Chain A
């Protein structure tokens, strides 16, 4: 029997959006692991971390509350699962803040009457990697490996929001290990000394403050090279985009020579589980990892 979850896809996963390759590779992963993600019907954007410029506290809370209420209505027995760090954070945070603040909850529910919904807050809001770690487990993941990622040195870049403030699997904020453990589970070499593991990539400020953001990303990539990495792996779509797509600009600005692939954990899993480059959405990356492709094409 497939494990079923109420799925919050988020804007950046939509067809044609910047992290549609995360969406595709997760879809493949779910096939492999017999997981069924049921999209929340008619979900809306959660406001990301930057929504506060236009939206006050209550309107922003209402955004996620609508999604949670839709999930409560349509998928009453399923945990909510998100693949985007910001989506997960926002949804979980709203869930908890409304539960802790009766006044806010009351006002939110008044606003939700306009869409004939009610937020109760009985659900767990989880990240996809929690499903993999807690519901599937490292052993079961290891048992699926058909093509170990032998010889690949991988810098696990956790970033901010898949780590703080909630954390994954009770691990520390300063040095969470789950991404490294995943890499090792897949037969790759985790660069556990990678200094920039939990550094911030500037998040949404990359758009508005590109020079400041690129300075942060430069250090994140440089440290991966210093540790001898073949690639960076991350769970966060905004981190993926920020670290991958501005490498040309960074090279021009800093006279560096970066060409570092930045993959999703789900893409690595797909390949290690024996799926091809297409199923792992490898074409969705601007900088290709020839090593990973070789394993996928084996």
Chain B
């Protein structure tokens, strides 16, 4: 389904990826301001694991390397440390652009396959939007099982001591499993998010459900 959106975007922007980013990606209008000094690329804590550090991503956007950018795992290596924003001489909101590119790659169906941060992030979002607050225990369990049942049991076993320690320190409550926390105006909360999603979908020129 998202391939249809992807196709529509390809046709609409006809090889002008910078324009596509400017108009559709969060804070994407800043990309053209980059002067390629490279300061940001030296700032990422997980730097060695980025196939293309931020400066390179910005260069590739201008060079129309659309698929390469959007299917890259690079943006998913961002720890939101804000080092880059604090240092960029041009004041680019690099952190937000990375988040924006990552989100956009999902929206149009080009995200990398089996990217753990993408999966965890989606799980986090689903968990929080369900009840309005995050339930850490369910999130933790969800994470163990994200790679399938057998893998999940293995991970859960290796983390058992940690779980026990957390419980002893009263920082993880099994009661959370049974209900846990949430907002009381849940209907309103969901209506609000739905409206926000609709407005955004309309802006990105896409009316299909993004999942």
Residue ranges of A at the interface with B (Cβ–Cβ < 8 Å): 11-12, 14-21, 42-45, 47-59, 61-63, 66, 107-108, 110-116, 160-161, 163-165, 173, 199-200, 202-205, 207-209, 212, 216, 245-246, 248-249, 283-286
Contacts and interface: CB of A to CB of B under 8 A. Distances in A.
B129 A205 contact: no
Contacts of A286: 165-166, 168-169
- Of A42, A112, A285, the most chain B CB neighbours within 10 A belong to A42
A62 B116 contact: no
Nearest to B174: A16
- Of B169, B172, B180, B188, the most chain A CB neighbours within 10 A belong to B169
Contacts of B132: 44-45
Given A17-B136, A50-B120, A50-B121, A204 B80 contact: yes
What 7 A-B pairs are tightest by C-beta distance, nearest first? A53-B121, A54-B125, A16-B173, A164-B82, A49-B80, A114-B191, A52-B99
A288 to B, nearest CB: 10
B184 interface: yes
A16 B121 CA distance: 22
B133 A45 contact: yes
A105 to B, nearest CB: 12
A18 B86 contact: no
B62 interface: no
A283 B120 CA distance: 30
Contacts of B203: 58, 107
Nearest to B195: A111
A18 B161 contact: no
Nearest to A93: B96
B126 interface: yes
A108 B120 contact: no
- Of A18, A57, A66, the most chain B CB neighbours within 10 A belong to A57
Interface in B139-172: 143, 161-162, 165-166, 168-172
Contacts of B171: 16-21, 284
A113 B193 CA distance: 11
Contacts of B122: 53-54
Given A43-B183, A165-B82, A14 B170 contact: no
Contacts of A61: 196
B169 A283 contact: yes
Given A54-B125, A164-B85, A205 B133 contact: no
Contacts of B124: 48, 50-51, 53-54, 204
Interface in B66-89: 77, 79-83, 85-86
